[in-house]
Chains A and B, each alone.
Chain A
Amino acid sequence: MAITLSDDHAIPSQPLSPRLTTPQVWGIVLIAPYLLVFLAFVVYPVCYGLWLARAPSNYVALYNDPIFARAAVNTLIFLVIGINIKMLIALFLSGFFAQQRTWIKWLSVIFILPWAVPSIPTILSVRFMLNPEWGMVNHLIFNLTGDDGPNWLNDPTVALTMAIGVHIWKSLPFWTLILMTGRLAIAQDLFEAAEVDGASWWQKFRYITWPSLQTLYITCSLLSMIWTLGDFNSVYLLTGGGPADLTHVLSTLGIRYLRLDQLSLAMASIVCAIPFVLPLMYFMMKRLSR
């Protein structure tokens, strides 16, 4: 044993009570700080929030608010279309980055940048690029075609697409990295054997890569959906929910109500999402606690 302990001659620990040994008492002491944080900043806010959202009139108000319906639809588009596109690209790029080339190694170091830098300056940078009068994108369009480019963020569909694009830009490196780690864990001799048998790249993917990767891929998709529900920055910093509050998602809408001092509406809009999120959260918890 390489570890030597200090020379104190500690007396073998005496049980403090008939039921708890000294290590167990220490166990309780050491877990207490987290429990305190959990009670004060998770249990209390959640219960208080649910209590605030209890009145049925809140839900009637939400039902009558067209912005809420629009935000719910936008959230669905963001999750169902945005996340699936992102994960498919991540799956594809993970294969690209798993190639053993020096320049690809270097590219992967650069590729991680969006994940490593804070989102505020980069999203604002994209926002200015899309500025209809001064932005670089429309300058390029003008120089190439002689026409004025579109007013990107003034059309709700385009603006939401751009917000999804910004989200993908920011989080694609992380998921690519995870899927790449998963790919590298697959035994290489399987591919060598397939190569000898003359398998095409699609057959190798279909019969070797995908079966080993699908659990990870689905887990990542679900996890990404949960996190994307809480992604406030991509929409708020790019479009601010505009034009005319048409690009809100649930996370920015809750904050919008909060800023308008309609706390119970804010909570109610979140409560509406709970039936969809809770099963996902439970599934993920079970998955990770094994």
Chain B
Amino acid sequence: MKLPTLREVATETRLLLIGIPVFLWTMIPIYHMFLFAISPKEDAFSGKLWPDHPTLHNFEIVFKQQHYFLRDFYVQFWNSLVIAAAVGVLTLFIATAAAFSISRLRVPGGRIVMNLALFTYFIPAAFLAVPMYRTMGNYGLLNNHWALILAMVTIASPYAIWVLKQASDKLPVELDEAAVMDGATTLQIFRLVYLPLMMPSLVAIGTYAVLLAWNEYLYAFLLLSNDREITLPVALGNFLAADDSPWELLMTTGFIYALPPAAIYYAFRRYMVGGLTAGAVKS
């Protein structure tokens, strides 16, 4: 075994001096949330770094809905799930169709539509929220899941179209030409040539839209208010309404709420990093 040289030790030490603070900085808020989830109330409020009596009792309370703030936990979880799934499906449908139309069919005015979509992508979300709230009111959709679904589709599609267009521009034109030679109709090209080749990007965009909708707080809290219609993040925000909020239950619910997106993210990380950063790096 070769002993490391002094220089190598110095480099490694320097890297560790960066790595350890980065690790602590990243993990402390998440660890704190986890700590609350496994602590009884007294331990949580005593500022200990590890509880004297770690327990899963908080999870039991949440899953049995045994608290005033949690009485609609399953309904709200379901709402989050349905809305995220609907946003994923609708965004995929709208964005794939638009990207195919712009990139492969070269629809007249396609470039303008792409620019308009990109422009929408750069409207700060909180700015659009104000008129969006009023618009949904005018459409009579307030407190209806469709309000949130449509709002999130509006926000997710521009980026989705852009990423899918970038990806489909890379497919060779000869593919379409060959398919047309073989007598394929436009829809057949879409279904049998285009969709299979675009699969990695479609997975990335579907994940992006689902996570965006699942994580959304502002629009959900503006557009939905009825306790049985709201999504989990809004319910979490409502915990703060009381002065003596049960923070250990809030953190437990938050922990449960944070698990699915983290799991999805790590499961599709390969696609996410490849599919979503490629565009940004190009510019």
Q: Name A's B-contacting residues (CB within 8 A).
A: 1, 3, 5-6, 8-13, 22-24, 26-28, 30-31, 33-35, 37-38, 40-42, 44-46, 48-49, 52, 93, 96, 99, 101, 103-104, 107, 109-114, 116-122, 124-126, 128-129, 134-136, 138-140, 169, 173, 177-178, 181-182, 185, 215-216, 219-220, 223, 226-227, 229-233, 236-237, 250-252, 254-255, 258, 263, 266-267, 270, 273, 277, 280-282, 284-285, 287-290
Chain B residues lying within 8 Å of A124, measured Cβ to Cβ, are 236, 240, 250-251, 254
**A125/B254 in contact, CB under 8 A:** yes
Partner of A182, one of B28, B266, B279, B281: B281
A122 near B107: Cβ-Cβ < 8 Å: no
**Would you give 28 A-B contacts (Cβ < 8 Å), ordered by A?**
A1-B178, A8-B183, A8-B188, A24-B107, A26-B187, A31-B98, A31-B107, A34-B95, A34-B97, A41-B132, A45-B135, A48-B138, A96-B15, A96-B18, A110-B23, A113-B30, A118-B214, A120-B237, A120-B257, A121-B257, A122-B29, A125-B254, A128-B32, A136-B32, A233-B218, A255-B218, A255-B222, A273-B127
Instruction: Tell me whether A33 and B98 are in contact (CB under 8 A).
Output: yes
Main secondary structure of the interface of A (DSSP, over half): helix
Contacts of A33 in B (CB 8 A): 93-94, 97-98
Cα distance A111–B23 in the bound complex, in angstroms:
7
Q: Are B107 and A41 in contact (CB under 8 A)?
A: no
Q: Pick the contact of A267 from B130, B269, B279 — CB < 8 Å?
A: B130
Cross-chain contact B157 with A34 (CB below 8 angstroms): yes
| A-contact bits for B164-198, CB 8 A (1 contact / 0 none) | 00000000000100110011111110101100000
Kindly state the separation between the CA atoms of A3 and B179 in the bound complex, as whole angstroms: 8
Query: In the complex, A122 Cα to B98 Cα: how many Å?
Result: 36
A104-B15, A236-B218 known, 9 other contacts, Cβ within 8 Å: A22-B186, A96-B15, A96-B22, A107-B23, A113-B262, A114-B29, A121-B255, A126-B29, A232-B126
**B15→A41 contact, CB < 8 A:** no
A residues less than 8 Å from B185 (CB atoms): 8, 10, 13, 22
Chain A hits for B182, CB < 8 A: 5
Q: A140-B47, A237-B237 are in contact. Are A34 and B117 (CB under 8 A)?
A: yes
Which residues from chain B contact A288 at a C-beta distance below 8 Å?
118, 162, 279, 283
Of the candidates B107, B138, B261, the one having the most CB atoms from chain A within 10 angstroms of its own CB is B107
CB neighbours of B279 from chain A (8 A): 288
* In the complex, the 5 A-B pairs of residues with the closest C-beta atoms, listed nearest first: A121-B254, A139-B47, A230-B124, A27-B107, A49-B131
Q: Could you tell me if B193 and A281 are in contact, using CB atoms closer than 8 angstroms?
A: no
- With A99-B15, A227-B124 already in contact, the answer to whether A270 and B33 are too (CB < 8 A) is no
B215 at interface, CB cutoff 8 A: yes
Contact residues, B129-182 vs A (CB, 8 A)? 129-135, 138-139, 150-151, 153-154, 157, 161-162, 175, 178-179, 182
CB-CB under 8 A from A233, the residues of chain B are 217-218
Contacts of A129 in B (CB 8 A): 28-29, 32
Shortest CB distance B185–A (Å)? 5
Q: Which of B28, B98, B122 contacts A34 (CB 8 A)?
A: B98
Contact B262 A116 (CB under 8 A): yes
B interface residues, tally (CB under 8 Å)? 104
Among B250-273, those with CB < 8 Å from A are: 250-251, 253-255, 257-258, 261-262, 265-266, 269, 273
A75, chain B: closest CB distance, angstroms: 11
- B window 11-47: CB within 8 A of A: 15, 18-19, 22-23, 25-30, 32-33, 36, 45-47
Across the interface, name the chain B residue whose C-beta is closest to A257.
B130
Residues of A within 8 A of B222 (CB): 255, 258
Instruction: Known A96-B15, A121-B254, A181-B277; judge A230-B184 contact (CB<8 A).
Output: no
